[in-house]
Structure 1
């Protein structure tokens, strides 16, 4: 699992139980999945098509730092299937797991757009060595 983004839990992120609001966490995950799949496919029109069962494993509280991990499961013709885990940065305790997130790339008319990708690429591998 590659952990890309960290979030510091602030008062506005809490539910009435004074723990991290699940909806806020899902918002962060959805954004991270969109960013990750956009970078992989080089298409800025990535949308969430599907999110599998969401397993809340533990909670987090104000002041905790959480990190969002995303990995590619597979590349489709116009989609990327991801898996996600969010954990407490300091304790490494899992907070949430999502087995499958499907992101689809669209063209300017809202139709699925093939991306031609078959494996994970890193930005450094795309850059010209002269930089």
Structure 2
């Protein structure tokens, strides 16, 4: 038998299994279909309504500011494996040391830079 408990505001608190957990008096028994959803579907907020029905509410949409987008872009540019900064640093080093092929590395950096800007677009 499987159970769920909820916070005073109605949001999901715990998922419990009889025999494994101590089941509090206010726990609500859930069937296997709902249990599977409770443990697998993390794309919303599970709530207990005043009618006793357990439903999933969508996450609230939070608008991102320019500062939020700038922070995301800077982090993505500097990411050691998939960022654009690594290409520019390598191209710069190659050019200074007279190594061939630095233009292709620079172009890869420009391409990745543009991809990051497209991924994190400025808010309207």
TM-score (norm 1): 0.22
Higher share in strand: 1
Higher share in helix: 2
TM-score (norm 2): 0.23
Which structure has more RCO (C-alpha within 8 Å, separation ≥ 6)?
1
